[in-house]
Amino acid sequence: MSSSTDTPVSKLGSFVAGGAAACVAVTFTNPIETVKTRLQLQGELVAGGSRLYTGPAQAVSLIYRTEGMRGLQQGLACAYAYQILLNGSRLGLYDPLRVALGGCVLGDRSAHGSAVLAVNAAAGAAAGIIGAVLGSPLQLVKTRMQALAHDGARLPSAWPTLVAVFKDRGVRGLYQGVDAAILRTGVGSAVQLAVYSHAKEALGRHIPDGMALYTLASTISSVAVCIAMNPFDVAMTRMYNHRGSLYRGPLDCLYKTVKSEGFCALYKGHMAQLLRVAPHTILCLTLMEQALRVVRLVESRLPQMRP
């Protein structure tokens, strides 16, 4: 995501910048993630019927009234760890992978200061898949914690939940739904990072480098992500939350969802998704740019850390 005029940073520096930016972003977006999770799970494989939650605003209000801020921020500690693994890898590895792939595909490492959409998409997908695999057990635990409504009683924290899953089903249980996570995060990362790089370069011809450019490019990217990723996000949420053998895989989950609830069920929680993805993307990518500036400054004084 750095421009061609930027001094490159080390892989460790990219990982730290990506993880820090994502943790700040998720602090603000975790409540809407909780809402999105519950919207996607309600009415699972059931056609019609009454619904507890009718939309993001009503869901936020209801959860706050019945469960307090703790209910809205359920799984936040787990979300921090997940964001460090997922986005530290995803954002931190994106530029190095883009450089490497650009060198292989274009045959000239100096050529990929210009955003090549196919190379950017491939780098984004690869970085996202690596992050999804690393963070999948934490996302599973976070999803189950957020899905569970409570009335003020103490809920298990992330670590006991993780241990319980491991004792029950071993490593296989921790990685239940990882195939859906790979699809969801691969698609989301390919779209998010490629569209962001492409939009930032195109808009940069007319808008000076700075927060306005980063925010506008992030907004365009977030809309594209919601359209492309929501069906796979529904599948991932449902596969993480179920504890039996209801789904054989993400494609089976998508098929059963459409068969039982109709095509529109693939876009359950889409408005909450946009309300989550838009600020998260804007915060994450703009903060990433600022964090990279700090990392560059630090590494310029520590030459041994430079790539």
- With bands split at pLDDT 50, 70 and 90, how would you rate the model's confidence at 153? low
Please report, for the domain that includes residue 159, its CATH number: 1.50.40.10
Half-sphere exposure of 175 (CA within 13 A, CB side): 9
Asked whether residue 5 carries a pLDDT value surpassing 50, the answer given is no
User: Each residue of 267-290: pLDDT tens digit?
Assistant: 999 999 999 988 988 888 788 888
User: What does the pLDDT read at residue 73?
Assistant: 94
Percent above pLDDT 70 for the chain: 90
CB-based burial, 286-296: b 16+ in 10 Å, e otherwise: bbbbebbeebb
DSSP class of 7: P
- Which domain covers residue 136, as residue numbers? 11-300
User: Looking at the domain assignment, is residue 127 inside a domain?
Assistant: yes
User: What does the pLDDT read at residue 260?
Assistant: 95
User: Looking at the domain assignment, is residue 72 inside a domain?
Assistant: yes
User: Looking at the domain assignment, is residue 292 inside a domain?
Assistant: yes
Question: How far apart, in whole angstroms, are the C-alpha atoms of residue 146 and residue 203?
Answer: 38
User: What does the pLDDT read at residue 305?
Assistant: 53
Q: What is the dihedral of CA 37, 43, 48, 49, to 10 degrees?
A: -110
User: Looking at the domain assignment, is residue 75 inside a domain?
Assistant: yes
Residue 285 · residue 221 · CB < 8 Å:
yes
Asked whether residue 3 carries a pLDDT value surpassing 50, the answer given is no
User: Each residue of 250-271: pLDDT tens digit?
Assistant: 999 999 999 999 999 999 999 9
User: Looking at the domain assignment, is residue 44 inside a domain?
Assistant: yes
Domain count, the chain: 1
* Residue 112 token pair: 């990929």
User: Looking at the domain assignment, is residue 2 inside a domain?
Assistant: no
User: Looking at the domain assignment, is residue 306 inside a domain?
Assistant: no
User: Each residue of 157-216: pLDDT tens digit?
Assistant: 888 889 999 999 999 999 999 999 999 988 888 888 788 888 998 999 999 988 889 889
Question: How far apart, in whole angstroms, are the C-alpha atoms of residue 45 and residue 123?
Answer: 35
User: Looking at the domain assignment, is residue 3 inside a domain?
Assistant: no
